Amino acid sequence: MAKLTPIPSRKVAPSRIAEAPIHMECELIDTMAVGNIEKYGSSTLVVGRVLVTHVQDKYLEKRSDGAKAVRNQDMATVARLGGLEYGTIGNRWTLQKDANWNEKHW
């Protein structure tokens, strides 16, 4: 089991995770059902408003204009691109489908 450290949020009730490089505290605006479950499955689109963003100092750099910028390339982030595709900064890959997944789930 992962050993994660909860820390208080500033604007929302749920705790943040100290080990995460970035935190976004959000409030819910709306949810909407998307898709046709009979044909290819469905999803829920969640719309929210970011109230506060926290970035660990080691992932920030000062730009020439004095503003701070996030050094994304230093984080081991993974992005969900859609379908079975995932990516990182500079890389992208596709997971192979298996017998448990088919077009009905998309």
Can you spell out the DSSP letters for the chain? -----EE--SSSSSPEETT-SEEEEEEEEEEEEEEETTTTEEEEEEEEEEEEEEE-GGGEEE-TTS-EEE-GGGS---EEEETTEEEETTEEEEPPP-TT--GGG-
Ranges of the chain with pLDDT below 50: none
pLDDT at 103: 58
Q: What's the pLDDT at 17?
A: 96
Its pTM stands at 0.66
Look up the domain containing 15 and give its range.
6-96
**Is there a domain that residue 103 lies in?**
no
Q: Is residue 101 part of a domain?
A: no
Q: What does the block give as tokens for 15?
A: 């705790």
When divided into structural domains, the chain yields a total of 1
